[in-house]
Amino acid sequence: MLDKLNCMQSKKFKSYSRHNLDQLLTLRHLPEDVVTAIRVVSAVFPFRINAYVIDELIDWSNIPTDPLFQLTFPQPGMLGAADYRALAHQIRSGASEKDIRSMAARVQSRMNPHPGGQMALNVPRMGGEPVPGMQHKYTETVLYFPRQGQTCHTYCTYCFRWAQFVWGGALKFAGDDPSTLVRYLDAHPEVTDLLLTGGDPMVMSAKQLRKHLGGILKKRPGNLSTIRIGSKVLAYWPYRFLTDRDADDVIQLFDEVISAGYHLTVMSHFSHPRELSTEAVRLAMKRLINTGVTLRCQAPVIRHINDHPDVWAEMWRRQVAMGAIPYYMFVERDTGPRDYFHLPLASAYEIFTQAYRQVSGLCRTVRGPSMSATPGKVLVDGITEVAGEKVFALKFIQARNPEWVNRVFFARFDGQASWLDALKPAFGETRFFFETGCGQGR
């Protein structure tokens, strides 16, 4: 392992965005309408891509339908036709950047930028004041958004946290004071799990990571036992753990976290099996596992990218073969460009089921399809017939109210419904049991 790392050529991180798109030579060979779409749609949604994704993951002979191109480059269908035409006209006519941003902001505001009650219900309070940079929706788990981690090595086109990258101020989750996190954990002994999220915490330097985790290692607050890091770094920049200048320092910090008695898990976001195909990702995963880090893998099922059971079956098999644990298949959330990416719940369930049937028990740790909705994580557990009515069998696998966890309930089958709020209760009921009592923050 060390020999391979020593022999591996050091890679320098190089990224491209809307503002230096002309430097991306690959685009010069693409049709003009494809490049125009990138410029137009990236005025509304965040766009950033790095050279590793460009050189090693995207199939440039299959543009624009290549799944990794769809995953990372803005697509025209991400905007409504009228909005696309209006923005394209502004850009073609040489409108100022201020005017373009103003029009883009109006489009963004209509796209449910913070779904699932993130702002209204998930932000905890201390001393009667909201705690910046944190969410506490589920009893056992606190989400922490370190300010320096609120970007990514490459942005996913379907990202449900897109608003983190285009808006600032009160609409952005960002924590500056790790001591506040320590105090909150001390005051809440029910919390066992801390999830560092973003953005991507792994864009931070080892020094910045240590700043946010050091107080926990020193103070050992509350009953915290597990630290999770939500990241797509293994898919988009595996050299973070291999040849980056402070890669060894990151591994050393992870070793300290584990030696302190914490279970450390990198919640790895893999959207397509091709992201697991390079030598760099194989070595990075091996190095993390050898350090004692657990890797759990999750992603949403997304039209144009991974909406086929064979893709998921192959991805789960590769994850297990590389020492990782398949964890979640999510449903695309009700925000941003979901009209372009979402699938009906019935289709998502069929994809999951057909993929699940292809794999061995070691892959069947995965759960899905799951909706991260306002009341909790709702699993589509089946499509069946009960008392002569075709229904979705649903179940809370996590909930804002712990009494709802593992509770099965039924919704009338709707072949077009793609989110919880589009479903109606089965058997003549007028409302679901959770529709009262879920609108309470902490």
Give a yes or no: residue 296 inside a domain: no
Query: From residue 156, how far is each of 50, 67, 69, 226 by CA, in Å?
Result: 12, 11, 10, 27
Rounded CA-CA distance 220/44 in Å is 42
Residue with tokens 């069946």: 384
pLDDT-flagged residues of the chain (< 70): 1-9, 114-120, 167-171, 437-442
Give a yes or no: residue 438 inside a domain: no
371, containing H or E segment? strand 367-372
Percentage of residues in the chain with pLDDT exceeding 90? 77
Give a yes or no: residue 18 inside a domain: yes
pLDDT digits (tens, 9 = 90+) for 47-98: 999 999 999 999 999 999 999 999 999 999 999 999 999 999 999 999 888 9
Q: What's the token pair of residue 46?
A: 């965040």
Do 338 and 300 contact (CB within 8 A), yes or no? no
Residues near 439 by beta carbon (within 8 Å), at least 6 away in sequence: 117, 120, 121
Give a yes or no: residue 17 inside a domain: yes
Owning domain of residue 45:
1-110
DSSP-derived secondary structure letter, 66: -
Tell me if the bond preceding 369 is cis, omega within 30° of 0. yes
DSSP-derived secondary structure letter, 23: G
Q: What's the token pair of residue 204?
A: 């931070």
Give a yes or no: residue 43 inside a domain: yes
pLDDT digits (tens, 9 = 90+) for 316-363: 999 999 999 999 999 998 888 989 999 999 999 999 999 999 999 999
Give a yes or no: residue 174 inside a domain: no
Give a yes or no: residue 265 inside a domain: no
DSSP-derived secondary structure letter, 59: -
Give a yes or no: residue 67 inside a domain: yes
Split into its structural domains, the chain has a count of: 1
Residues near 412 by beta carbon (within 8 Å), at least 6 away in sequence: 389, 390, 391, 392, 423, 424, 425, 426
